Structure 1
Amino acid sequence: MTHNLAVLAEESYARLGHYESLYFEGTWLTSTEIHERSIRVAGGLRAHGVKPGDRVVVLTMNTPQVFIAYRAIWRAGAVVTPVIFLQTEPELRHILSDSGATAAIVSPELVGLFSGAAAGLDITLFVVGEESFDALEAGEPTEIVPRADDDLAALLYTGGTTGRAKGVMLSHRGLWESGRGIDLVARTTTVTRSLLPLPLSHAYGLIVAIGGLHTDRQQVAVLQRWFDPVGWLQLVQEHKLETSPVVPAMLQLLLGQPLAEYDLSSLQSFGSGGATLPPAVREEAERVFGVTILEGYGCTEASAVVSAETMTATRPGSVGKPLPHAEVAILDPDGKPAPEGEICVRGPGVMLGYWNDPELTAQTVRDGWLHTGDVGRLDEDGFLYVVDRMKDLIIRGGFNVFPRDVEDILLQHPAVQVAACVGKPDVESGEEVVAVVQLVPGGSATGAELVEFAKARMAKYKYPREVHVVDAVPLTSVGKLNRKAVRDLVGG
């Protein structure tokens, strides 16, 4: 069978037929409209010189045109190259030049950023909602360009907070299999109405969209241009939505809202990924929203998802069992199995490699195993537990301190909404444990009080010697803790 993502989209439309499938800012789009527009845009791309294998940048906020563009690019045999809109001009310049993109689909409000970053580069620009994109939509419908299972389907740039962003090469089969894994999780629920607040330009949002192409039920999706908690609550109430894929920071922000003012009784479940969900946040969210939270784990280099809980197999504290397309091993630094160690992944979802970087690829994928850089363990029933990122490990006086352990304790304090822990250089201990916290609205606590709170609940070598109360804990563009920015805050 073929794993061409354009074929998957075509089969999805043939299977589910015509219905109102996507709501965005007051307008409903039907499955037929999305399908037919994507076919025309594919023809327009080919007419404008986009060839199989060409990289096409998609630089937009969440809009229906993202779904149309992705399907069109795959139909034309080209490579989806999504870019999160919260980029600086130098960061975007690096992505545009490194990828060798030949075309770009850009939101009107981002044209200035794009034009500055693309100066001197030969990239054809199509602006959503303007004449250039209309010209694509006026294209003659085109047939699907055949692509092999291991042909490049998407080039996602990741790691910009720790250095120059790396292009991760993902194949048609890898994304197809990973999307099927997401759908297998969804099939253990009864939900058909979802809210999408995730950036579709991120691996998590992309794989949720691909998962929807595997479904056997007509699914209604409500799309947020970007996440805002008040808008999220209003949309759930208005459209009686049943589920939403989120990252933990979104849940933490939602829990700080006046939830009693909204009718959220339609909610049944959340999918949580992108970062580890603190147990205290999960417990409170399940209680307050009356939902089951299904945690998952993955990374861009593994086509976004590796493991997930399902409605029939949940275990709080874990990130579920590996999905059918992924094999997981826990290895020590010598590459031997260990009770706790680096999470390594093998299977069709593993990236083809880093774009233009065979040396880093060889370091990261060894003997077919992707070395994720995450520390974890598997229990006797095969559930995976993520301990922390190896690179975030703090070594204080020769003792290992995982930031997540500190954060989980601080989040038990009723006044703390978000917590982030980092290591700070120290003459005596090598590194000192330092944390920053964001309080719940109306909450009150001093840094000294929180130090004492943690001290009473943690081993002497672990507790933070400094806790700084800040207006907002720094997050990345996809809602993860931005530890680099936290280090800058505390002088780390």
Structure 2
Amino acid sequence: MSGPGEHNLAVLAERSFERLGDYESLFFEGTWLTSAEIHERSARAAGGLRAHGVRPGDRVVVMTMNTPEVFIAYRAIWRAGAVVTPVIFLQSEPELRHILTDSGATAAIISPELAGLFEAAADGLRIATFVIGGNYAELEAGRPAEIEPRTDDDLAALLYTGGTTGRAKGVMLSHRGLWENGRGLDLAARTTPATRTLLPLPLSHAYGLIVVIAGLHSDRRRVSVLQRWFDPTGWLELVAEHRLESSSLVPAMLQLLLGQPLGDYDLSSLVSFGSGGATLPPAIRVAAEKAFGVTVLQGYGLTESSAVVSAERMPDHRAGSVGKPLAHAEVAIRDLEGNPVPAGEDGEICVRGPGVMLGYWNDPELTARTVRDGWLHTGDIGHLDEDGYLYVVDRLKDLIIRGGFNVFPRDVEDVLLEHPAVQLAACVGKPDAESGEEVVAVVQLAPGHRVSGAELVEFARARMARYKYPREVTVLDAVPLTSVGKINRRAVRDLVGRDR
């Protein structure tokens, strides 16, 4: 048997520890963990997984809030040659049951708060279950395991996505794809001086997972402070207490932070934010950079691309752009017939490179429709400028066709967010007998502000083409979000009387 492959993620973790040595690297709820402790515990947990029957290629579910055990579990699973199968903790029992049965998972590591849900969803399935704070300790009680050899194309992670638009589908990501994407993101991060970062993202999401892998490529000792889940007040307190310099966020998190009393906290240590997971409205970017005194660096990607396709770098920050494609990724913009379009012209963003998924688990037909001739058809609309910077306009499936005219929801949302009273906005199409689809929106107001839906309609009408502005705006207590902070358009459509 040959040795571990060059892109084996367990090898990456091993070399990271050898390169950077032992230091206090992770803070969580009052406790520091050293890199040596994380390394040793993951090696023991790998041995524990093997002792409990986990074999190379087996899927191991990790369903927890953000805790240090996530860092340890990912390394341990890869070391054992198994497949990390992260599951967002905000699942219904039927959704979780589907993931468990579809993946054929043989083991699971879960938070104690989720034990009841997991037990109900896993009823009748043969899954070795380890509860953090309980029998999980058995995994770390064994002898450290050596690294199981894996090839570049071996499955490293199986991530389920699409739960807000239909039954979740498993996305197969390879060791090399995640390795290359992590390296590309780390190289972009090296253009900032920040080494002390706050992690509020769910580590069970593709964005959170790739941030962890990027850290394994780092040539500097990076300190991470982990939030169990995102809480704006807690986020601000941790930045002030630990003099943190950066944080990876999704736009909705930024919008919620801007509604806090920022002057009550010392945030002078902040240098930069990374923004991904959804398009960032220009008004929010400008407001965040002014309020926090940072540079907001955007990125773009999707689960099917191993999370990252492009990212901004500090020296070539360009307003409105999500940066240039990372070194491992090739991007082309194509029309609906699949033909390349000129620079500056919108079309579907297509991606090629090692980060493209191996395919959808148990769904070769959907795989063939999504990856054609090696190109991942993302379903996102955007363009490249003449210098190769990528701009994302919207999701193709979210496009509203009103009276024959194309309306991108993001254009409407960006205008509504220019109103000082609006904190979050979501725009969708609603069936209409005359226009085919009518443009409607829901908003969440910033604390202490009041404005009516009718006033917001007039605000948008004064700033947009006649066919674009929303005919209805509904003020909600909270705009529906997914578990990772994206706008939940399916829920919004339900609210306005449409489900598609």
Query: What is the TM-score with the length of structure 1 in the denominator?
Result: 0.99
What's the CA shift for 1:200? 0.1
Counterpart residue identity of residue 195, structure 2: T
Q: Map residues 384-399 of structure 1 onto 2, 5 A cutoff.
A: 384-399=390-405
Structure 1 residue 489: deviation in Å? 0.9
Q: Which residue of 1 aligns with 2:120?
A: 116
How far the C-alpha of 1:481 sits from its partner, in A, is: 0.4
Aligned match of 1:173: 176
2: CA distance between counterparts of 1:265 and 1:111? 41
Instruction: Determine if the alignment matches structure 1 residue 278 to structure 2 residue 281.
Output: yes
Structure 1 residues 91-100 or 181-190, which shifts more? Answer: 181-190
**Match for residue 379 of structure 1?**
385
Aligned length in residues: 491
Q: State the 1:139 CA deviation.
A: 1.3
How do residues 24-103 of structure 1 correspond to structure 2 at under 5 angstroms? Answer: 24-103=28-107
Deviation at 1:333, TM superposition (A): 1.2
| TM alignment of 1:250-289, pairs within 5 A | 250-289=253-292
Q: What is the match of residue 368 of structure 2?
A: 362
Structure 2 SS opposite 1:312 = helix
Q: CA deviation at 1:340?
A: 1.4
- Measure, in 2, the Cα distance between the counterparts of 1:139 and 1:127: 16
The alignment status of 1:195 with 2:201, answered yes or no, reads: no
Secondary structure of the residue aligned to 1:213 is helix
State the distance in 1 between where 2:60 and 2:20 align: 28
Following superposition, the deviation at residue 176 of structure 1 comes to 0.2
1:476-491 to structure 2, matched below 5 A, reads 476-491=482-497
Residue of structure 1 in register with 2:434 after alignment: 428
Whether 2:244 is the aligned partner of 1:241: answer yes
* Counterpart residue number, 1:104: 108
> Which secondary structure state, in structure 2, belongs to the residue aligned with residue 135 of structure 1?
helix
In structure 1, distance between residues paired with 2:192 and 2:441: 38
- How far 1:433 moved relative to its partner? 0.2
Q: Deviations over 1:75-131 (max 9, x none)?
A: 00000000000000000000000000000001111000100000011100011111x
Which of 155, 159, 179 aligns to 1:152? It is 155
SS in 1 for 2:95: helix
Query: What is the CA-CA distance between 1:133 and the residue it aligns to?
Result: 0.9
- Aligned equivalents of 1:399 and 1:87: distance in 2? 37
Q: In structure 2, what residue type is equivalent to 1:289?
A: F
5+ unaligned residues in a row in structure 2: which ranges? none
After TM superposition, give the deviation of residue 490 of structure 1 in Å: 1.0
- 1:182 and 1:139 mapped to 2: Cα distance? 34
| 2:232 is aligned with 1:226 | no
SS at match of 1:253: helix
State the distance in 2 between where 1:333 and 1:437 align. Answer: 32
CA distance in 2, matches of 1:73, 1:174: 17
CA distance in 1, matches of 2:84, 2:253: 26
Separation (CA, whole Å) in 2 of partners of 1:340 and 1:253: 31
Instruction: Pick the aligned partner of 2:14 from 7, 10, 22.
Output: 10
**Which of 294, 312, 331 lines up with 1:291 in the alignment?**
294
Quote how far apart the aligned CAs of 1:335 are.
Answer: 1.0
| Cα distance in structure 1, aligned partners of 2:189 and 2:443 | 34
Residue equivalent to 1:474: 480
Correspondent of 1:342 among 326, 342, 348:
348
Which residue identity is paired with 2:467?
A: Y
2:27 counterpart (10, 18, 23)? 23
Residue 130 (structure 2) aligns with: 126
Work out which of the residue numbers 212, 216, 219 in structure 1 matches 2:215.
212
Q: Distance in 2 between matches of 1:129 and 1:216?
A: 33
- Equivalent in the alignment of 1:140: 143
- Percentage identity across paired residues of the two chains: 80
Match of 2:425 in 1: 419
Distance in structure 1 (CA, Å) of the matches to 2:267 and 2:136: 38
- Structure 2 equivalent of residue 332 of structure 1: 335
Q: Which amino acid aligns with 2:182?
A: G
Question: What is the rounded CA distance, in whole Å, between the counterparts of 1:156 and 1:18 in structure 2?
Answer: 31
SS class of match (2:314): coil
2:282 maps to a residue whose letter is P
Long gaps (5+) in structure 1: none
Q: Please give the root-mean-square deviation of Cα atoms over the aligned residues, in Å.
A: 0.5
* TM-score (normalised: structure 2): 0.98
Deviation >2 Å, runs of 4+: none
Secondary structure class of the residue paired with 1:97 = helix
* Alpha-carbon distance, 1:296 to partner: 0.2
The alpha carbon displacement at 1:341 in A equals: 0.4
Distance in 2 (CA, whole Å) between partners of 1:234 and 1:489 is 35
